C-alpha cells in the first residue's frame, strides 16, 4: 500500500480512527483501500454495512473506479443542481467525484471525514467558532456536502435567534432546504408532512419554516423562489459539536447514486433491517412505509432511508426526513420502490401486506400491528390537523383523496 502513496492521497477518518485511503491513480482513476490497523481492530467503528462479508468479516478487496468514486463515497456527494452549483463555485468539474470529495471532505453526511493525508484527523470545532458575521461573498466555495437534489445549505445559529450561512461554507447543525421555482411550496408541504408524521407516532427530524429574507448571509446566487425555507435539525451532529455516523440504504447496497430507485424493494429493506437492526426498527419502517403511501409520497427511494450509528458500531434507523406529498406536483399512484413486486398504492392492501411480511424475519403480527395502527392514527389525526397546516389547500385536498384511495386507510373511511 505504501508504495503507491503520493501527496494527493486522501485519508478516510471516523473521528480519530484512520479507516483507509483513497489513492489517486493516473487517468482519473482512484482506489479505496482499508488501513491495516483498522482492518485488524476488532472494535473498529463501522464505515458501512456494504463492506461486511456474509460471515461478518471486513471485505478488504481494494475498489478501483474511474471518474466516479466507489459507491459508499460517491453517495456522500450532492446530486443535481446543488452539485452543479457547488462545483461551479469551487471551479471544479461537476462530473468528477474525487475533486468534489476533496473540497467537501471536512463536512460530509455522518461522521466520516476525508482529508489530505498530510493534514491528519479533523479536530472538531465548536459551533461558536464558525464565523457568521463576515459579509457575503458569492465567490467563496461552499464546503459542506449533503446528498439529494433540492437546493440546500448548511446553517449555524438557531431558529429562535436566527440561522446564518457560515462564512467558511461549512459547519452548522441545520439544513436549510430552499424553495424552488419548479415546485412551489415544497418547504410548506414538507414541514406539514413532517408534522403529520410526528402526530402519527413516527420519529422525525425536527423541522420548521423560516422566511428566506431572514436567513443570514444567504449567497446571492440562491434566487428567492418563494417566501419560506425549511430548516431541518441535523441528527448526525450533536450539540456538543461531535458527529454521529450514518449511511443511507443506497450505500448499504453499494449502489451508485443514480440507482436509488432500482434493484431493491421495500421487502429487501425490511428483511435487511430485521437482520441488522432488529424488530423495533422493522416496526418503525412499516409505519413510515404506510405513512408515505397514505400521503402520496412517491419519492421514498433508497437515499431517503438512513441507518445511524449512535455508538459508532450499532446501526438503527435514523429519524425520518424528506417526507413530501409529491402528488401535489406529479399526480400518480406510484411508489418509489415496490412492496411485494407492486408499486401501485391502490393495490397496497392487507393481502399485499401479508405477502410483504412473509419474507421479513419477524412475526407477521409485528408488521400487521404497525401497519394497521398507523393507518388508524392517520385517519384519526388528519381531519383536525389539516386545517392547521402551512401547505396549500389544494395539496391538503390531494392528501385527503389519497388517504381514501390507499386501501389500508380507505377501508377505515368506507
Question: Catalytic positions, please?
Answer: 299
3 state SS of 365: helix
Q: Report the residue number, 90 or 246, with the smaller CB distance to ligand ADP.
A: 246
Report, in Å, the least distance between residue 229 CB and ligand ADP: 12
For Mg ion, give the closer residue by CB, 75 or 409: 75
Say if CB 72 and CB 247 are below 8 A apart.
yes
Answer yes or no: are the C-beta atoms of 251 and 308 closer than 8 Å. no
| 293 is a contact residue toward ligand ADP (CB under 6 A) | no
- According to CB under 6 A, which one of 48, 70, 150, 374 is a site residue for ligand ADP? 150
- Report the length, in residues, of the chain: 414
- Give CA separation, 249 vs 5, 185, 238, 337, 411, in Å: 32, 28, 22, 12, 32
CB distance 174 to 234 below 8 Å: yes
Asked if 306 is part of the footprint of ligand ADP (rule: CB under 6 A), the reply reads: yes
Per partner kind, with CB cut-offs from 5 to 8 A, the member of ligand ADP, Mg ion, none near residue 87 is none
Q: How many CA atoms lie within 13 A of 371 on its CB side?
A: 22
Q: Cell triple for residue 334?
A: 406510484
Angle at 317 between CA 199 and CA 323, to 5 degrees: 45
| Position among 71, 109, 179, 187 found at the interface with ligand ADP (CB under 6 A) | 109
Instruction: State whether residue 46 is helix, strand or coil.
Output: coil
Indicate whether 248 belongs to the interface with Mg ion (CB under 5 A): no
Which residue's CB is nearer to ligand ADP, number 166 or number 407?
166
Min separation Cβ 392 and Mg ion, Å: 21
- Choose the one of ligand ADP, Mg ion, none that binds residue 205, judging by a C-beta under 5 to 8 angstroms depending on kind: ligand ADP
**What is the smallest separation between the CB atom of 244 and ligand ADP, expressed in angstroms?**
9
Convert residues 321-340 into a mask of x (bound to ligand ADP by CB under 6 A) and - (unbound): xx------------------
How would you classify residue 162: left for phi > 0, otherwise alpha for psi between -120 and 50, otherwise beta? left
Instruction: Tell me which of 235, 285, 329, 356 binds ligand ADP, using CB under 6 A.
Output: 235
Output phi, psi for 150, to 5 deg: -70, 145
70, 322, 326, 348: which one contacts Mg ion (CB under 5 A)? 322
Phi then psi dihedrals of residue 158, to 5 deg:
-140, 160
List binders of ligand ADP among 157-216 (CB under 6 A): 175, 205
* CA 68/CA 259 separation, integer angstroms: 14
Candidates 16-24, 111-119, 228-236, 403-411: pick the segment binding ligand ADP (CB under 6 A): 228-236
Helices (H), strands (E): how many in the chain?
Answer: 12, 15
Site residues (CB under 6 A) for ligand ADP, limited to 16-55: none
The listed partner (Mg ion, ligand ADP, none) that binds 109, CB under 5 to 8 Å by sort, is ligand ADP
Shortest CB 368 distance to ligand ADP, Å: 29
Q: Which does 150 bind (CB under 5 to 8 A by kind): Mg ion, ligand ADP, none?
A: ligand ADP
In this structure, what DSSP letter does residue 60 have? -
Quote the CA–CA distance of 246 and 115 in Å, as a whole number: 18
Q: Report CA torsion sign: 84, 90, 95, 99.
A: negative
What Cα–Cα distance (Å) separates residue 195 from each residue in 161, 203, 390?
Answer: 22, 10, 10
Which lies closer to Mg ion via its Cβ, residue 148 or residue 172? 148
Please name every residue paired with 306 in a beta bridge, in sequence order, or none if there are none: 248
Nearer to ligand ADP among residue 168 and residue 248 (C-beta): 248
Q: How far is the CB of 318 from ligand ADP (least distance, A)?
A: 7
Of 24, 107, 188, 236, the one binding ligand ADP (CB under 6 A) is: 236
Task: State the minimum distance, in angstroms, from the CB of residue 150 to ligand ADP.
Answer: 3
Task: Tell me the C-alpha distance between 177 and 170, whole Å.
Answer: 15
Q: Which helix (H) or strand (E) holds 245?
A: strand 245-248
Binders in 133-162 for Mg ion, by CB under 5 A = 148
- Cβ nearer to Mg ion, comparing 71 with 407: 71
**Which residues make up the interface to Mg ion (CB under 5 A)?**
148, 304, 322
> Applying CB under 6 A, which residues contact ligand ADP?
109, 146-150, 175, 205, 232-236, 248, 303-304, 306, 321-322
Amino acid at each position: 500500500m505504501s508504495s503507491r502513496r503520493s501527496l494527493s492521497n486522501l485519508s478516510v477518518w471516523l473521528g480519530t480512527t484512520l479507516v483507509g485511503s483513497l489513492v489517486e491513480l493516473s487517468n482519473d482513476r482512484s482506489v479505496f483501500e482499508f488501513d491495516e490497523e483498522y482492518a485488524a481492530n476488532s472494535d473498529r467503528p463501522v464505515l458501512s454495512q456494504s463492506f461486511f462479508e456474509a460471515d461478518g468479516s471486513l471485505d478488504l478487496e481494494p475498489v478501483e473506479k474511474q471518474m466516479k468514486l466507489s459507491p459508499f463515497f460517491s453517495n456522500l456527494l450532492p446530486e443535481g443542481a446543488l452539485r452543479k452549483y457547488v462545483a461551479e463555485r469551487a471551479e471544479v468539474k461537476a462530473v468528477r467525484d474525487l475533486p468534489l470529495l476533496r473540497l467537501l471532505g471536512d463536512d460530509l453526511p455522518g461522521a466520516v471525514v476525508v482529508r489530505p493525508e498530510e493534514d491528519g484527523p479533523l479536530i472538531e470545532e465548536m459551533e461558536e467558532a464558525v464565523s457568521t458575521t463576515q459579509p457575503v461573498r458569492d465567490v467563496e466555495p461552499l464546503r459542506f456536502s449533503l446528498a439529494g437534489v433540492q437546493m440546500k445549505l448548511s446553517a449555524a445559529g438557531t431558529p429562535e435567534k436566527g440561522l446564518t450561512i457560515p462564512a467558511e461554507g461549512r459547519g452548522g447543525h441545520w439544513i436549510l432546504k430552499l424553495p424552488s421555482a419548479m415546485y412551489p411550496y415544497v418547504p410548506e408541504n414538507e414541514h406539514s408532512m413532517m408534522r403529520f408524521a410526528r402526530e402519527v407516532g413516527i420519529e422525525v427530524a425536527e423541522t420548521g419554516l423560516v422566511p428566506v429574507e431572514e436567513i443570514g448571509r444567504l449567497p446571492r446566487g440562491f434566487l428567492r423562489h418563494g417566501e419560506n425555507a425549511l430548516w431541518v435539525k441535523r441528527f448526525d451532529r450533536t450539540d456538543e459539536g461531535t458527529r454521529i455516523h450514518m449511511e443511507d440504504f443506497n450505500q448499504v447496497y453499494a449502489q451508485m447514486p443514480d440507482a436509488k430507485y432500482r434493484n431493491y424493494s421495500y421487502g429487501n429493506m425490511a428483511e435487511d433491517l430485521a437482520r441488522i437492526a432488529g424488530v423495533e426498527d422493522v416496526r418503525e419502517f412499516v409505519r413510515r412505509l404506510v405513512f408515505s403511501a397514505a400521503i402520496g409520497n412517491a419519492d421514498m427511494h433508497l437515499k431517503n432511508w438512513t441507518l445511524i450509528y449512535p455508538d459508532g458500531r450499532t446501526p438503527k434507523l435514523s429519524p425520518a426526513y424528506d417526507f413530501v406529498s409529491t402528488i401535489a406536483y406529479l399526480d400518480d399512484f406510484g411508489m418509489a420502490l415496490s412492496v411485494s413486486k407492486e408499486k401501485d398504492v391502490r393495490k397496497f392492501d392487507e393481502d399485499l401486506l401479508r405477502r410483504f411480511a412473509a419474507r421479513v424475519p419477524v412475526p407477521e403480527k409485528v408488521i400487521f400491528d404497525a401497519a394497521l395502527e398507523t393507518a388508524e392514527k392517520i385517519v384519526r389525526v388528519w381531519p383536525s390537523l389539516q386545517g392547521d397546516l402551512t401547505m396549500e389547500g389544494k395539496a391538503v385536498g390531494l392528501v385527503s383523496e389519497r388517504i381514501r384511495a390507499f386501501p389500508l386507510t380507505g377501508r377505515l373511511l368506507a
